[in-house]
Structure 1
Amino acid sequence: MVQPATADGLSSTPSLVKPLLVVAAVATLAVGGTTGYTMWRSRLPDPNAATVAAATAASQLTTVTALGRLEPKGEVIKVSASGAAEGNRIDRLLVKEGDSVKTGQAIAILDSRDRLSAALDQAQEQVRVAQANLAKVKAGAKNGEIQAQKAAIARLEADRSNEIPAQQAVVARLSVDRSTEIAAQQATIARLRAEQQGEIQTQQATIARLEAELRNARSEDRRYSQLYQQGAISASTSESKGLAAETAQHQLNEGKAKLNQIQLSRQQQINEAQAKLNQIQQSRQQQINEAQANLSQTQQSRQQQIDEAKANLDRIAEVRPVDVQAATAEVNSAASAAKGAKANLDLAYIRSPRDAQVLKIHAYPGEKVGDDGIVELGQTREMLAVAEIYESDVSKVRIGQPAKITSDSFKGELQGKVEHIGLQVQRQNIVNTEPSANIDARIVEVKVRLDAVSSQKVAGLTNLQVKVAIGGN
């Protein structure tokens, strides 16, 4: 039988009390920590529950939202000059921003208008001339015209008879001048060569004389040098003979140098004279060739004029069906040219291709038409909202779905319906300003046609960034 412990018993065993107290404290802390952790875990959201909730919300989504922009029906078009009018300047601008224009209405006039208008007047005058010629051909030639044409032929033949001999005389004169100048220059060359030969021979004789004098001076110098050594003469007398020998040597050297100078200078004169002879031959021959070419041209051109005059005489001598046809063809050709001139003049008037509103002007009077054209036009009576729908959401969009468009730039909402769903996936152009926004998203353009009231409300806000909500209740 176990007896309960008494105070006296505990006090008698103090070594067992402290361990028991420690065990009891640890057990109490463990139970409290477990309870607190359980309560904290119960307050945390369940990740699986969040995923399930997101999936449920996505399955219930009925509205597709996206960023977009406003634009007129048919997009904004840039009206420019035609390629044939490229580089022209604006002479007059007939509209201002905000004006409404009709199809075919003149927007601007190019500075080529006056020139093209004059060309049209000239072309129309050519039509009248051709028509008058056709009437004259059909009426038949008069005897006075035939006689006048014969007189024209006779005059042309007389001119030919006068011009050809005159040109032949020019050729002959040039040939004589060439022969005369060549002979004169050849004579000059022969004279220079003769003078060269004479001067060379004279100088060679001088050199021979100087060589003889040098030999004699050297002989005298040697003889007087021996006499000086023998004491027969004074040193000054001996030195004078040596100086005479040196002088003779210098004179001989100068004579040879002069001979070389004569040869070089005279040869240079001969070469220059020969070059001038060649120049005379070439230049005179060129003049003769040109004169002969003029002669041939005169013969051919005059003969061609005579042949044309004779052919014209044959043409006016009688009225032939072929003449009438030719004159009629000239009338048709002139009419076609006038039609082309009219078309070119029309290009100087820049006209609106549709009923629209002027959104922006790029070229003013005095400026060239650049790559941006002259004006931008848009059909602002019917506005569209072009929404950039993420490719993952485009399957939820249908033609005819209602859409609401909002923006900070206007009050309220715009109403419209989906009119077109694009057929291409493109990169996103309109990016949300939020830092976390995806700037490289892939989208499909969906066009929403606004109703009449909404279109009128934002007619002046082309390219405005908007928010588009498609679908929903």
Structure 2
Amino acid sequence: MQDDPSLPLADCGKATPKHPTASRSRPTDLYHRLKLWRVPLLMVFLFTGAVVGMYFQPPLLRTFFGMTGLEPGAGTGKPIAVPPLPPDAAPAPPPPSVTALGRLIPEGDVVRLAAPYGAGDARISRLLVRVGDKILEGQPIAELDSLQHYRTAVAAATANVAAKEAALDQARSAVSAALAEAKADRDRAASAANLARNEANRIGDLFSRGVATQATLDRAEAAAVQAARELDRAEAHLARQEGGESQPDVALAARQLDVARAELASAEGDLSRGQVFAPQAGRILALHVGVGERPGTDGIASLGTTERMEAELEVYQTDIERVAPEQDVTLSSAALAEPLTGKVTKIGLEVERQSILSANPAANTDARIIRVTVALDPDSSARASGLTGLEVTGRIETGRSQ
């Protein structure tokens, strides 16, 4: 067979044996046996590298963990080769003071005087005080334009009472006169009855002696009986007139007087609807309306006891457990030349939303607070008497209390 020039090998015409000869397979098996010893060596090398990496944690390994977000020992509940966490440090002691925002107020807070009950559409006709005036309890503050109407009603009720009193006096006089007249009628009837009875007895004596006739005796007896009946009628009429205050005319006049007096009391009560009075002593802090204006929701005036000033602080609910009565408080503000001092007197019982906000734009505007009242000492109260409503920063010394 000729060689095919297109084939890569020469074709000798003999088939190639499937299995290599013994001389060739023997070096190949030896080569594979010598190569197997690398496997355990590789395992020992990998194990040694893992141990070294977990123990020393070189920078390259840390960089790898940082890039992948993995953590050493995160895949098991009991990691090894991880440094133990340091023991929990003791909690830091709380600061010796609590800071809170607040405002200055008179003792008992500011009182807003509203229009009296039933004032309706009444308007201010006269203001009797000015801002800064010191007033007494019950002192009139303002008059409404409805006051004249109520005064007229009082005058009418007073006149009605006087008329009813006169009617009662008239009724009593009439009863007294009727009583005197009834007594006179009774006395006259008694005299007539006695005279008629004596005349009948005299005629009877004459009849027994035959001097008087039967007809004369009968007329005398009839006259005596008639006189006795008149006496009974007069005594009954006198008994009716002796009732005094229980006489119908007097009782009716007395009840009418009671009604008139009740109407007068009602009119005098309505008179207070035309005026505004101070419920307590203090100082006028502001006037919210003028003459001719109708009082609105702000009321007519604001007053307070500025002789004794207080501060109302809004303490965070997380700090309130450290606040106690009689703790010292220092109040500061840009408007004060020197800080004010005082003591905690009252701690509120209700958690509220914060109403006084800090100028810091990052401050919490939805905090929950408890109101704490601070009574200022006399010197601080005198300096703060003209600063009602001033926002202050209070520092409550929680480290000590007296």
* TM-score bucket of the superposed structures, by smaller chain: 0.5 to 0.7
Corresponding residue of 2:299: 373
CA distance in 2, matches of 1:429, 1:351: 31
Selected match of 2:250 from 317, 324, 327? 324
Give yes or no for the alignment of 1:70 onto 2:73.
no
CA distance in 2, matches of 1:324, 1:400: 69
CA distance in 1, matches of 2:94, 2:298: 47
Q: Deviations over 1:258-298 (max 9, x none)?
A: xxxxxxxxxxxxxxxxxxxxxxxxxxxxxxxxxxxxxxxxx
Selected match of 2:122 from 61, 65, 88? 88
Q: Which aligned pairs between 1:107-256 and structure 2 lie closer than 5 A?
A: 107-140=141-174
Contact kept in structure 2, 1:389 and 1:445, CA below 8 Å: yes
State the shift of 1:322 in Å: 2.4
CA distance in 2, matches of 1:322, 1:80: 49
Give yes or no for the alignment of 1:444 onto 2:370.
yes
CA distance in 2, matches of 1:86, 1:467: 42
Higher strand proportion? 2
Partner amino acid for 1:65? Answer: T
CA distance in 1, matches of 2:303, 2:155: 33
Moved over 3 A (4+): none
Corresponding residue of 1:457: 383
Residues 52, 70 of structure 1: CA spacing in aligned structure 2 closer, same or farther, 3 A cutoff? Answer: farther
CA distance in 2, matches of 1:370, 1:435: 34
Contact kept in structure 2, 1:86 and 1:369, CA below 8 Å: no
Contact kept in structure 1, 2:116 and 2:275, CA below 8 Å: no
State the shift of 1:408 in Å: 0.4
State the shift of 1:386 in Å: 0.7
Paired residue secondary structure (1:84):
coil
State the shift of 1:323 in Å: 2.1
Partner amino acid for 1:70? Answer: L
Give yes or no for the alignment of 1:392 onto 2:392.
no
Partner amino acid for 2:134? Answer: S
Paired residue secondary structure (1:372):
coil
Higher helix proportion? 1
Partner amino acid for 1:420? Answer: K
Contact kept in structure 1, 2:124 and 2:293, CA below 8 Å: yes
CA distance in 2, matches of 1:394, 1:90: 46
CA distance in 1, matches of 2:120, 2:112: 15
State the shift of 1:121 in Å: 0.8
Residues 459, 52 of structure 1: CA spacing in aligned structure 2 closer, same or farther, 3 A cutoff? Answer: farther
Give yes or no for the alignment of 1:106 onto 2:32.
no
CA distance in 1, matches of 2:102, 2:293: 35
CA distance in 1, matches of 2:255, 2:353: 60
Give yes or no for the alignment of 1:97 onto 2:131.
yes
State the shift of 1:345 in Å: 1.3
What is the Cα-based RMSD across aligned positions, in Å?
Answer: 2.5
State the shift of 1:349 in Å: 2.0
Selected match of 1:414 from 328, 331, 340? 340
Q: Which aligned pairs between 1:314-353 and structure 2 lie closer than 5 A?
A: 321-353=247-279
State the shift of 1:435 in Å: 2.2
CA distance in 1, matches of 2:263, 2:330: 57
State the shift of 1:60 in Å: 4.5
> Which is bigger in relative contact order (C-alpha 8 A, separation at least 6)?
1
Selected match of 2:113 from 66, 79, 99? 79
Q: What's the TM-score, normalizing by structure 2?
A: 0.59
Q: Deviations over 1:118-169 (max 9, x none)?
A: 11111000000000000111111789xxxxxxxxxxxxxxxxxxxxxxxxxx
Q: Deviations over 1:182-238 (max 9, x none)?
A: xxxxxxxxxxxxxxxxxxxxxxxxxxxxxxxxxxxxxxxxxxxxxxxxxxxxxxxxx
Structure 1: stretches of 5+ with no match in the other structure: 1-32, 35-47, 144-317
CA distance in 2, matches of 1:71, 1:388: 13
State the shift of 1:52 in Å: 5.0
State the shift of 1:87 in Å: 1.5
Q: Deviations over 1:301-339 (max 9, x none)?
A: xxxxxxxxxxxxxxxxx9861221111111111111111
Corresponding residue of 1:41: none
CA distance in 2, matches of 1:359, 1:90: 18
CA distance in 2, matches of 1:81, 1:411: 39
Q: How many residues align?
A: 251
CA distance in 2, matches of 1:435, 1:80: 37
CA distance in 2, matches of 1:403, 1:327: 70
CA distance in 2, matches of 1:369, 1:432: 33
Partner amino acid for 2:133? Answer: D
State the shift of 1:351 in Å: 0.8
